Amino acid sequence: DGANDAQPRPSATAPVAARSDEPLVRAVNVMKSFGKHEVLKGIDLDVHPGEVVVLLGPSGSGKTTFLRCINQLETIDGGRIWVDGDLMGYADKGGQLHRLTDRKIAAQRREIGMVFQRFNLFPHMTALENVMEAPVQVKGVGKAEAKAEAERLLERVGLGDKTKHYPSQLSGGQQQRVAIARALAMQPKLMLFDEPTSALDPELVGEVLAVMKELAKDGMTMVVVTHEMSFARDVADRVVFMDAGVVVETGAPRDVINNPQHERTRSFLSRIR
């Protein structure tokens, strides 16, 4: 084990072969168990720079776990994940851990923005302070520079007039947009979204999706777990349908959503529509 740690070149037969660039994320045969429970059973996925990939699938199919593996919040116990050419930590067949140094893990995480279902803003900080926090504390950016950038980012997510508001003074949709601005403040090369709108009142979902759509249009590489079919249809370059820890089917949104090839996909889509 370990001999195959060089990132494999894109295969000529892969569906993404039309793109010549290297993938930003390459997951090969990723496995993850919690105790005896095999949650991921060999996930393959390439995400190319600028691509928006939507992960669909029933609750419990492993979508969140997979995102957490990409971000090294979980260590995988089979397969490999590369992010921007760097091999992420993994356990080999003998259970031996091959971890990056803490420093390298921290460096990788800084470059991957994650937005959760719950916004997790610091309640005692204003919107502006929330967005400034990581650049100042983690990256050592000067306060004036961080403030100017935070103002720009809050403007970008439509909250230029709410910079001095505390989370409790903002709606769920506004808080989630602050959370997106906060992730962007670290200038991530990849953004992971885990059901970013599922905790929101229905009338607030649109404003968050609109911000994500803009982000996609600006070329951000994104992996998004969502049940919002309109977002998948309009924004995703590719959708990946997962069930019970495997990728059942993947393709262009119009193909997978309008013309699913597998019974499991059809059944899932009929339930959420």
Task: Choose one: 57-65, 112-120, 151-159, 208-216; the region binding ligand ADP (CB under 6 A).
Answer: 57-65
Q: Which is nearer to ligand ADP, 35 or 123 (CB)?
A: 35
Query: To the nearest 10°, the Cα dihedral for 138, 139, 142, 147?
Result: -70
Residue numbers 23-42 binding ligand ADP by CB under 6 A = 34, 37, 39
Q: Which is nearer to ligand ADP, 39 or 204 (CB)?
A: 39
Output the DSSP codes for the chain.
--TT-SPPPPPTTSTTTT--SPPSEEEEEEEEEETTEEEEEEEEEEE-TT-EEEEE--TTSSHHHHHHHHTTSS-BSEEEEEETTEEPPEE-TTS-EE---HHHHHHHHHTEEEE-SS----TTS-HHHHHHHHHHHTT---HHHHHHHHHHHHHHTT-TT-TT--GGGS-HHHHHHHHHHHHHTT--SEEEEESTTTTS-HHHHHHHHHHHHHHHHTT--EEEE---HHHHHHH-SEEEEEETTEEEEEE-HHHHHHS--SHHHHHHHHHH-
CB of 32 to ligand ADP, least distance (A): 8
Q: Which of 25, 45, 54, 65 binds ligand ADP (CB under 6 A)?
A: 65
Q: Does 122 bind ligand ADP (CB under 6 A)?
A: no
Q: Which of 26, 30, 61, 119 binds ligand ADP (CB under 6 A)?
A: 61
CB of 45 to ligand ADP, least distance (A): 14
Task: Choose one: 12-20, 62-70, 130-138, 151-159; the region binding ligand ADP (CB under 6 A).
Answer: 62-70
Distance CA 248, CA 240 (A): 8
CB of 182 to ligand ADP, least distance (A): 22
Q: Does 57 bind ligand ADP (CB under 6 A)?
A: yes
Q: Which of 60, 142, 160, 219 binds ligand ADP (CB under 6 A)?
A: 60
The CA radius of gyration of the chain, in Å to the nearest whole number, is: 19
Q: Does 71 bind ligand ADP (CB under 6 A)?
A: no
Task: Choose one: 13-21, 53-61, 121-129, 144-152; the region binding ligand ADP (CB under 6 A).
Answer: 53-61
Residue numbers 212-271 binding ligand ADP by CB under 6 A = none
Q: Which of 59, 101, 168, 270 binds ligand ADP (CB under 6 A)?
A: 59
Contact positions vs ligand ADP (CB under 6 A): 34, 37, 39, 57, 59-65
